[in-house]
Amino acid sequence: MELSVRSRQEGSRTVINVTGEIDVYTAPNLRERLNELVASGHYDLVVDMAGVDFLDSTGLGVLVGGLKRARSHDGTLRLVCDQEKILKVFRITGLTKVFPIHATLADALAAPAGGTS
């Protein structure tokens, strides 16, 4: 399955809809998109992973990179995910403590803006 990455604006938030498999082969596409968004002044990012079937450590690295870039502009990167198999990847690597993770897009959009989780 290919990776699809689409972004749209929701008020001050930029929602990045990711579907498919984020792995060593496809993660560079996501990295490029996140870098472009931050470079063009989008610092309050919500990555919606509801349609993600698979996530590996390369994908985790890309998300951590996006979070660091957003934070360097006082923004943040929130994740939307409620799939146990994907959440497990964050839990095993201790990254549940690093990312604000929300079960629904509505919850992520309702969270306060900026770098607080």
Partner 1 sequence: MALVELRFPPDAGHVRTARLVASAVARRCGFDVEQVDEVRLAVGEACARAVRRSDDCHVTTAVVLRIDDEPPGLRVDVVDDSAAGPREEPLVLALLKGLADVVELLPGPAGPDGHVRLVWFGDNRPHVVG
Token digits of residue 8:
């749209």
How near is the Cβ of 55 to partner 1 at its closest, in Å?
8
Q: What is the Cβ-side half-sphere exposure of residue 68, based on CA atoms within 13 angstroms?
A: 7
How near is the Cβ of 12 to partner 1 at its closest, in Å?
31
How near is the Cβ of 115 to partner 1 at its closest, in Å?
23
Residue in 18, 46, 60, 79 binding partner 1, rule: CB under 8 A: 60
Q: Between residues 56 and 107, which has the closer beta carbon with respect to partner 1?
A: 56
Residue in 25, 51, 72, 104 binding partner 1, rule: CB under 8 A: 25
Q: Does residue 52 interact with partner 1 by CB under 8 A?
A: no
Q: How far apart are CA 93 and CA 11, in angstroms?
A: 32
Q: How far apart are CA 112 and CA 102, in angstroms?
A: 13
Q: Which of 22, 76, 10, 11 is nearest to 49 (CA)?
A: 22
Q: Does residue 21 interact with partner 1 by CB under 8 A?
A: yes
Q: Which of 84, 51, 77 is nearest to 62 (CA)?
A: 77
Which chain residues interact with partner 1 by CB under 8 A? Answer: 21, 23-25, 54, 56-58, 60-61, 85, 89, 92-94
